[in-house]
Amino acid sequence: PMAGPPIIDGGVLWADGRIVAVGPFAGLRVEGGRVVEHEGCALIPALVNAHAHLELSHLAPLGREAAVTPFPGMAEWITALLHRRETVPASDEEIAAQARAALDDLRRTGTILVADTGNRPESVHLGRDGGMDALFFLEFLGLSRAAAEAGLKRLAAVEAGTACTAHAPYSTAPGLIRGLKQRAAAAGRLFPIHVAESADEIEFLRTGGGPLRRFLESRGAWDGSFAPPGCGAVDDLHRLGVLDGRTLCVHAVHLSSGEIDTLASRQAKVCLCPGSNRTLGVGKAPVAKLLAAGIRPALGTDSLASNPRLDLWEEMRLLREDHPEVAPEEVFAMATANGAAALGCAGRLGSLAPGRDARLLAVRCPVPPDDIFEFLTTAGPEAEVRWVE
């Protein structure tokens, strides 16, 4: 149930879509209640995907190609992404259809909540009517002086009900990051941002040079107004005053020990994306160090442009493969309880406990109870999952 240890021969009692009780099955029978058996299965909370880009789903061929031949760096992948988007344009209908197909896959594999980030205002509609919950964040970027000023003007015109965020410290001017965070804070909203994803990013923030500088120059997006902070991504965000309990740092691969301590002291959230990181060849997050600092990461898939599948079962499997020292219980929590907590939904989702939404899965588990977390975190796409209804 995540709120406590696994219950052997357990059951979940619910009414009107809310969990009433969780415990040994024999003690949960209610006169007149309907009983549904799931013999040989584990009943678990539905999964939470804390980071995705549904509007990029039509670029899935790029993600599949990258899975076979990883990119040498972040700048090369961004170049390939923009080239494909510009040379193989998609209509609004095609973008929406592919996003809905991605949502269907997320739902099929047991995901109930996804944090979706997009650059198009109309993408707010992509996660609706998909049989699951979607939190949409309109993403801003712009590093040159003109782009940052245009971003702030555009932000002022965005409807109050739309959640907004920044792309990353290397692509979004400091003033625009602050403005976006202030808006999110005033509304009590989450502020997800790509942080320390690649070595290219850290080089650019420290020196102002490297592949990302050359990329910006090639796109005509470099005007010399950006002053590199001379530090890592987390230190930069801390200096800007935007790290707090509602900041979600996505990827968090290239972190110093001091930056991990800063994340912990500021109670910032972290979302790991092992599948995308592997495809883009950007490295592995320091998971054990994050856990040792008291940080409980969530899991995300990123987009089909950087990941061959949006499947949290595969993300768990890859994380276990990359970090065999991390306990399987910790990894499973990343896809359930930690994800719900990171997205501010711990009171509804992520665990099987009284008062939570009755959104749960039955997963076929042909293993002894003592091996259940080992099985759940290594089954990958082979996991046999069905919704309990």
pTM: 0.96
pLDDT of residue 130: 67
Per-residue pLDDT of 116-174, as tens digits, reads 999 999 888 887 766 789 999 999 999 999 999 999 999 999 999 999 999 999 999 99
Phi-psi region of 33 (alpha: psi -120 to 50; beta: other; left: phi over 0): beta
Q: Where would I find the H helices in the chain? A: 60-68, 74-87, 92-108, 145-157, 174-186, 199-207, 211-218, 233-240, 257-265, 274-280, 287-292, 312-322, 328-334, 337-342, 372-376
Given this model, what pLDDT does residue 22 score?
96
Under 8 Å between Cβ of 257 and 232? no
Looking at residue 160, its amino acid is A
What tokens appear for 83 in the block? 């080239």
In 3-state terms, what secondary structure has residue 237? helix
pLDDT at 157: 95
What one-character-per-residue DSSP string does 319-340 give? HHHH-TTS-HHHHHHHTTHHHH
- The first and second tokens of residue 54, run together, are 């549904």
Cβ pair 385, 110 in contact under 8 A: yes
Residues 349-379: pLDDT tens digits?
999 999 999 999 999 999 998 899 999 999 9
Distance CA 308, CA 304 (A): 6
> Per residue of the chain (389 residues), what is the pLDDT tens digit?
998 899 999 999 999 999 999 999 988 977 888 899 999 999 999 999 999 999 999 999 999 999 999 888 899 999 999 999 999 899 999 999 999 999 999 999 999 999 999 999 988 888 776 678 999 999 999 999 999 999 999 999 999 999 999 999 999 999 999 999 999 999 999 999 999 999 999 999 999 999 999 999 999 999 999 999 999 999 999 999 999 999 999 999 999 999 999 999 999 999 999 999 999 999 999 999 999 999 999 999 999 999 999 999 999 999 999 999 999 999 999 999 999 999 999 999 999 999 999 999 999 999 998 899 999 999 999 999 999 98
Rounded to the nearest 5°, which phi and psi values hold at 107? -65, -45
C-alpha–C-alpha distance, residues 363 and 340, integer Å: 20
Distance (Å) of CA 220 to CA 110, 135, 139, 151, 216: 43, 33, 21, 17, 6
